[in-house]
Amino acid sequence: MVNEQVIKRGIDDPGVIKAMLKVERHRFVEEALEDSAYGDYPLPIGEGQTISQPYMAALMTSLLELTGKERVLEIGTGSGYQAAVLAELAAKVYTVEKIKKLAKRAEETLVGQLKYKNVLVLVGDGSCGWSGFAPYDRIMVTASAPEIPETLINQLAPFGRLVIPVGDHFSQVLMVVKKEKDKVKIESSTPCVFVPLIGKYGWQE
């Protein structure tokens, strides 16, 4: 998976590659889908949500440019797979999931089974972020928004980075927000398709 879907598609960050090699993707899908866990496509995880394709998980992680010291906020825990990859590369991961059933399952996998001590899971509206531990050095949003929520930019530390898919319900573009000393710079990365970010500063239910 890592060689064919990550390295050969241009991901060359050694930390990201090492993390993708270590985190077992089949641990984050239902037993019936384990044989498909390493395919180059997203998979359903229940509740109308998906686990992102391996390449997209690697790309978004590489865009954060993690060094190992960062406090990372993830919006959209889902299965917990992306949080596990982030936990291999960051000092602390705070991850928010709107759907209680998914959050509970992800926490059991991440903390109960895999014993990650640097991951905290919250059930809540991810479009609002997690103000209690802000600011964050990095923020990753794994659901699409019609625009970049100002509340997330506000929770980003100076010189921090935010990665988020922005667009309509059918297609989006991965955006990278860089908070510099006195301004915010926004760059586009690549087209993508994600489930919608439902919440106060995302899409309405």
Nearby residues of 8 by Cβ (< 8 Å), 6 or more positions away: none
Cα 18 to its chain centre, rounded Å, is: 17
Q: Report the alpha-carbon distance of residue 189 to residue 177 in Å, rounded.
A: 11
Residue 43's nearest CA partner among 73, 95, 34, 109 is 34
**Amino acid letter for position 175:** M
Q: Quick check: is 52 catalytic?
A: yes
Q: Report the alpha-carbon distance of residue 139 to residue 137 in Å, rounded.
A: 7
Q: Which of 52, 62, 79, 144 is catalytic?
A: 52
User: Bridge-partner residues for 141, per DSSP?
Assistant: 75
**Amino acid letter for position 33:** L
Q: Which residues are catalytically annotated?
A: 52
